[in-house]
């Protein structure tokens, strides 16, 4: 990476360029991380199932490694994520007989978790994805029927934000979601954000996951959504950008595209897509402060197992040998 121009230096006066990391990729991808990124997000190490595996047991060591690496290299840290319906252990919602725990017990656990985790990283984590994916994808409702909502009702979201703010008044607090530019879901997210803002809830930004494919969603749809979110006066972060070379098939009964090789045609289509995405982000750099990719290189991407387990994907800026792809050069030249 010595001779490579630095991506985060090229974008330094536009927005931070970040990457999701694990305690492993901290080592295996260290050179690329140090050279090209100015923000890191623990991909899994701060999720409830990892950091608070049992009621009386917190496990900070893996996330601490990431936070210390970031501190050593002057990188911003995005905390991910305090309240989510996935990767949260069942004990949180159960009493000691394995029955659904009463609301007061679940609320006490929420309070303890946020106080302990946000308190532990106070001054080291610059912002938190306080609540992840609380809004439904399809259908007529609004909020997802998550274990949190079942136990605590709709205002678990407000509670989580207020608890996080109490634990670290200086941390910026974000709501994070995916399919966030799809108009119907966008409008449900906007309804939630307006509800929180109207109630004076301490929320500072919206996290746009931007898990996209080569051709969808289109830039116009994304820009229309960005215009709506920024109109609320919130900061924007792109939090989990990756560009799958496969179409996003939502319907479980629909066939998924079979694995395809990463050839020159794909390399060019991916490069053009990344160029269009970063041009969009640059148009909104006055409120878009952080663009984080959900990984560093194609040898370590969650997309190899979602939505199809074992189907190789090629969604990031560096290839399986940690070399810059055409997409990297096109993004760099845009700065
Ligand atoms: O949770 C989902 C469900 C369906 C589609 C996409 C998502 C995206 N969900 C993201 C992806 C990977 C995880 O590591 C992140 O924590 C999560 O925010």
Indicate which atom in ligand 1 lies nearest the CA of residue 43: 14
Give the residue whose CA is nearest to atom 18 of ligand 1.
132
Q: Is residue 133 in contact with ligand 1, taking CB distance under 6 Å? A: yes
Give the atom of ligand 1 at the shortest distance from the alpha carbon of 176.
Answer: 18
Task: Give, using CA atoms, the residue closest to atom 6 of ligand 1.
Answer: 178
Ligand 1 atom nearest 137 alpha carbon: 4
Q: Decide: residue 126, CB within 10 A, 0-12 exposed, 13-18 middle, 19+ buried.
A: buried
Residue nearest to atom 12 of ligand 1 (CA): 302
- The reply to whether ipTM tops 0.90 is yes
Q: What is the pLDDT along the chain (335 residues), one digit of tens a residue?
A: 667 999 999 999 999 999 999 999 999 999 999 999 999 999 999 999 999 999 999 999 999 999 999 999 999 999 999 999 999 999 999 999 999 999 999 999 999 999 999 999 999 999 999 999 999 999 999 999 999 999 999 999 999 999 999 999 999 999 999 999 999 999 999 999 999 999 999 999 999 999 999 999 999 999 999 999 999 999 999 999 999 999 988 788 899 999 999 999 999 999 999 999 999 999 999 999 999 999 999 999 999 999 999 999 999 999 999 999 999 999 999 99
Q: Which of 46, 85, 86 to mutate to test the pocket of ligand 1 (most atoms within 8 A of CB)?
A: 86
**In angstroms, rounded to a whole number, what is the distance separating the alpha carbons of residues 250 and 188?**
18
Of 119, 121, 125, 120, the residue nearest 40 (C-alpha)? 125
Catalytic residue IDs:
133, 240
For residue 142, give every residue at least 6 positions away whose Cβ sits within 8 Å of its Cβ, in sequence order, or none.
135, 136, 188, 191, 192
What pTM value is reported for the model? 0.98
Phi/psi region, residue 96 (left: phi>0; alpha: psi -120 to 50; beta: rest), is: alpha
Phi/psi of residue 243, each to 5°?
-120, 100
């Amino acid at each position: 990476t010595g001779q490579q121009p630095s991506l985060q230096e090229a974008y330094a006066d536009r927005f931070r360029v970040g990457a999701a990391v694990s305690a492993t990729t901290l080592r295996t991808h260290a050179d690329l991380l140090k050279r090209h990124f100015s923000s890191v997000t623990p991909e899994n190490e701060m999720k409830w199932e990892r950091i608070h595996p049992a009621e009386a047991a917190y496990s900070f060591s893996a996330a601490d490694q990431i936070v210390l690496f970031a501190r050593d290299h002057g990188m911003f840290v995005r905390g991910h994520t305090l309240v989510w319906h996935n990767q949260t252990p069942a004990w949180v919602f159960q009493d000691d007989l394995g029955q659904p725990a009463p609301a007061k017990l679940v609320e006490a656990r929420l309070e303890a978790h946020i106080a302990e985790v946000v308190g532990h990283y106070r001054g080291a984590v610059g912002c938190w994805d306080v609540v992840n994916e609380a809004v439904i994808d399809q259908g007529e409702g609004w909020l997802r029927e998550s274990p949190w909502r079942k136990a605590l009702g709709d205002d678990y979201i407000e509670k989580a934000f207020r608890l996080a703010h109490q634990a670290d008044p200086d941390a910026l607090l974000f709501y994070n979601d995916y399919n966030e530019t799809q108009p119907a879901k966008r409008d449900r997210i906007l309804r939630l954000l307006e509800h929180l803002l109207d109630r004076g809830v301490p929320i500072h930004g919206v996290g746009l996951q931007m898990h996209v494919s080569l051709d969808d969603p289109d830039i116009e749809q994304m820009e229309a959504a960005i215009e709506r979110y920024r109109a609320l006066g919130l900061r924007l972060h792109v939090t989990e950008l990756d560009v799958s070379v496969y179409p996003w098939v939502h319907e479980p009964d629909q066939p998924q595209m079979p694995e395809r090789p990463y050839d020159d045609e794909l390399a060019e289509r991916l490069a053009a897509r990344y160029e269009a995405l970063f041009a969009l982000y640059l148009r909104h750099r006055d409120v878009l402060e952080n663009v984080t990719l959900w990984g560093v290189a194609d040898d370590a991407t969650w997309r190899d197992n979602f939505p199809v387990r074992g189907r190789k994907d090629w969604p990031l800026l560096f290839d399986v040998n940690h070399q810059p792809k055409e997409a990297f050069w096109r993004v760099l030249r845009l700065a």
